[in-house]
């Protein structure tokens, strides 16, 4: 029986369920570069180049094993530019007995695939994606009957289930979470590791030229492209991270600094989300570094929590709550996305820096995403869909299953508290504490009101005043609302007016 096996751009794992029972004598693998996937949001040029280059390298790897790969390039004149169209054309070319694919990571494509089952005249088998620690059905079983889906409970359960960082029933170091030992600002003069980047080879250079030509108006620079595009490169990137950055990862996980886009972060999410690395091997590599005395437990635990905890948790929430999840707007946010998210033209130094990192690298680290661009969008009341489309477009690691819960739930609180127990709202004081940006800014971070006052200060208080009906009973915001209770109506008005004037100016 011959099978046509579809491999999507973020399914580049040799262990993929759709490839597990492949018969090289009879089967064909289909891979297709289509503009529908590159433009459903206008992806950053580096993201498109990364996906296409990694796809082309993966096709070569399969061919080297003797597997037949039918690879449709973007500039193939007969390309229909949709995955469905390419499936239909490939069926006409190969006349397979059945189609095999692994479930898509994004809801829109997973739904479309199920539709294909009705539309395409060929039996279609959709297999689960087993590259994660747990399946959506297992997450749903964990979530069943729980009033609150808190990360910490889920994470502890995952530690017990996998035995990672566990000595029998006991977590290494006697506790599950070492976060209090992390969260340090970066001391001046800290020497940062030289990050390993991968200069484009012939395939990547071809793809870069193609993307430059075909997606001219998309956001982002292609110069300096250095992402790993093969599994071998991704493995080298993992080794480099474990040796050179992991020991300091925990302490400076929340720090931000001028001209330092990467700090001690792993930069592994683009390769991981493409399938070039597995979550298991990342966790195993970090655990080994701890056991061999190469990295301290708080750093290793902090790193593993992001993958075994957060990454699995947001995926679980996504599949549990979609499609309604994306529709909620608990804070009634409705402003358009300010232009500076695209051009970086703003006097706010911190945001200009975050947008610049994003434009240059299709990357910014978690705290920049959450506490700079995310925090501003939250405080300003920007419409969730506009913010989500921006995050999905601009980061090399962005796929909706991971982007949406992080943006909609964690950054914007648009889900009303399913993901986060309170909004991650912060004034300029937080940004000053965690970065050196304020020293280079023309706004005054210590001023609360006035033309030169840091906008985050009045936006923060105006946000709490505007959203008091939804937020004032949240116990985690009790202190802020106690402060507000001591304010006069005139004082509150002054903050509301300052915020409105500022936002009307940037919109
Ligand atoms: P590190 O800081 O080195 O962390 C290690 C790994 O942990 C990452 O590679 C990633 O796989 C995982 N991880 C860390 N935090 C999270 C998290 N909150 N959710 C899921 N996985 C996590 N991550 C994406 O992979 N794709 C996205 O589209 C994405 N969008 C985001 C949008 C917003 C608004 C926010 C606040 C966060 C988003 N994240 C997203 C999570 C996180 O910011 C990135 O995973 C991280 O910055 C990737 O860089 P890194 O590999 O250097 O991560
Ligand atoms: C992100 C992306 C891009 C830019 N291009 C393609 C493509 O041309 N062909 C393809 O198969 N996949 C691509 N992808 C990845 C898909 O968008 C991804 O598989 C879905 O969003 C499901 O997660
Ligand atoms: Fe950002 Fe305010 Fe600091 Fe300027 S002063 S960098 S706007 S936090």
Look at residue 180 in the predicted model and tell me its pLDDT: 84
Phi, psi of 325 (to 5 degrees): -50, -45
Q: What is the CA(458)–ligand 3 centre distance, in A?
A: 12
- CATH of 340-506, picked from 1.20.150.20, 1.10.579.10, 1.10.238.10, 2.40.50.180, is 1.10.579.10
Which ligand sits closest to the CA of 8? 2
Q: What is the CA(457)–ligand 3 centre distance, in A?
A: 9
Ligand 2 pocket list (CB less than 6 A):
8-10, 32-34, 37-38, 43, 48, 51, 83, 104-106, 109, 399
Look at residue 174 in the predicted model and tell me its pLDDT: 96
Contact 50, 313 (CB under 8 A): no
Contact 374, 248 (CB under 8 A): no
SS3 387: helix
Look at residue 116 in the predicted model and tell me its pLDDT: 87
Indicate which atom in ligand 3 lies nearest the CA of residue 441. 4
Look at residue 507 in the predicted model and tell me its pLDDT: 61
Closest CA to ligand 3's atom 6:
438
Is 456 close to ligand 3, i.e. is its CB under 6 Å away? yes
Domain boundaries, the chain: 3-127, 136-198+228-321, 340-506
Distance, in Å, from the CA atom of 236 to the CA atom of 100, rounded to the nearest integer, reads: 31
Q: How many CA atoms lie within 13 A of 67 on its CB side?
A: 25
φ/ψ bin of 183: left (φ > 0), alpha (ψ from -120 to 50), beta (otherwise): left
Look at residue 358 in the predicted model and tell me its pLDDT: 98
Phi, psi of 335 (to 5 degrees): -75, 150
SS (H, E, C) 58-120: HHHHHHHCCCEEEEECCCCCCCCCCHHHHHHHHHHHHCCCEEEEECCCCHHHHHHHHHHHHHC
Short-list 247, 280, 284, 281, CA closest to 264? 247
Short-list 320, 328, 340, CA closest to 137? 320
Ligand 2 site-directed mutation target among 7, 9, 101, most atoms within 8 Å of CB: 9
Termini Cα distance of the chain: 59
Tens digit of each residue's pLDDT (9 = 90 or more) over 65-110? 999 999 999 999 999 999 999 999 999 999 999 999 999 999 999 9
Q: Hey, what CATH topology would domain 136-198+228-321 get?
A: 1.25.40
SS3 337: coil
Phi, psi of 127 (to 5 degrees): -100, 150
Short-list 351, 357, 437, CA closest to 395? 357
Residues of the chain with pLDDT under 50: none
Is 290 close to ligand 3, i.e. is its CB under 6 Å away? no
Contacts of 143 (CB under 8 A, 6+ apart): 149, 316, 320
Domain 3-127 annotated CATH 3.40.50.620: yes
Distance, in Å, from the CA atom of 48 to the CA atom of 203, rounded to the nearest integer, reads: 13
Angstrom distances, CA of residue 125 to CA of 11, 81, 92, 136: 16, 23, 18, 18
Q: What is the CA(27)–ligand 1 centre distance, in A?
A: 36
166-167 and 170-171 strand pairing: antiparallel
Look at residue 336 in the predicted model and tell me its pLDDT: 97
Contact 215, 48 (CB under 8 A): yes
């Amino acid at each position: 029986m011959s099978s046509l096996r579809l491999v999507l751009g973020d399914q580049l794992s040799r262990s993929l369920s759709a490839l597990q029972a492949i018969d090289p004598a009879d089967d064909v693998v289909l891979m297709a570069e289509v503009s529908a996937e590159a433009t459903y949001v206008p992806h950053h040029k580096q993201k498109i180049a990364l996906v296409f280059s990694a796809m082309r390298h993966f096709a070569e790897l399969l061919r080297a094993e003797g597997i037949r790969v039918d690879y449709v390039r973007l500039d193939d004149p007969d390309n229909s530019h949709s995955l469905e169209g390419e499936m239909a054309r490939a069926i006409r070319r190969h006349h397979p007995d059945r189609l095999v694919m692994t479930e898509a990571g994004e809801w829109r494509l997973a739904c479309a695939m199920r539709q294909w089952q009705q539309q395409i005249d060929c039996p279609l088998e959709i297999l689960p994606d087993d590259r994660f620690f747990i399946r959506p059905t297992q997450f749903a079983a964990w979530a069943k009957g729980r009033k609150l889906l808190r990360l910490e409970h889920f994470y502890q359960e995952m530690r017990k289930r996998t035995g990672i960082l566990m000595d029998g029933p006991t977590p290494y170091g006697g506790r599950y979470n070492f976060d209090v030992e992390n969260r340090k600002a970066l001391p001046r003069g800290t020497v940062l590791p030289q990050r390993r980047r991968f200069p484009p080879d012939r395939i990547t250079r071809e793809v870069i030229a193609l993307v430059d030509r075909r997606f001219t108006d998309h956001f982002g620079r292609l110069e300096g492209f250095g992402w790993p595009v093969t599994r071998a490169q991704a493995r080298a990137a993992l080794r480099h991270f474990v040796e050179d950055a992991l020991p300091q990862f925990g302490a400076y996980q929340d720090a931000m600094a001028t001209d330092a886009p990467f700090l001690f972060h792993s930069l592994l999410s683009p390769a991981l989300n493409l399938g070039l690395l597995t979550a298991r091997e990342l966790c195993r590599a970090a655990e080994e570094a701890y056991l061999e005395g190469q990295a301290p437990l708080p750093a290793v635990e902090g790193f593993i929590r992001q993958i075994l905890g957060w990454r699995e948790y947001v995926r679980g929430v996504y599949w549990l709550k979609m499609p309604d999840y994306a529709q909620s707007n608990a804070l009634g946010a409705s402003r358009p996305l300010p232009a500076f998210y695209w051009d970086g033209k703003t006097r706010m130094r911190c945001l200009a820096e975050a947008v610049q990192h994003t434009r240059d690298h299709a990357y910014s680290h978690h705290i920049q995403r959450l506490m700079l661009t995310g925090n501003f969008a939250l405080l300003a009341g920007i419409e969730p869909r506009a913010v989500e489309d921006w995050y999905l477009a601009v980061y090399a690691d962005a796929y909706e299953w991971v982007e949406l819960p992080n943006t909609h739930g964690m950054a914007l609180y648009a889900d009303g508290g399913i993901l986060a127990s309170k909004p991650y709202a912060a004034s300029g004081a937080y940004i000053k504490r965690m970065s050196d940006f304020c020293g280079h800014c023309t706004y005054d971070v210590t001023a609360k009101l006035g033309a030169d006052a840091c906008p985050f200060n009045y936006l923060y208080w105006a946000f709490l005043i505007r959203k008091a009906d939804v937020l004032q009973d949240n116990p985690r915001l009790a202190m802020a609302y106690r402060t507000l209770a001591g304010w006069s109506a005139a004082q509150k008005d002054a903050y509301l007016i300052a915020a409105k004037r500022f936002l009307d100016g940037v919109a």
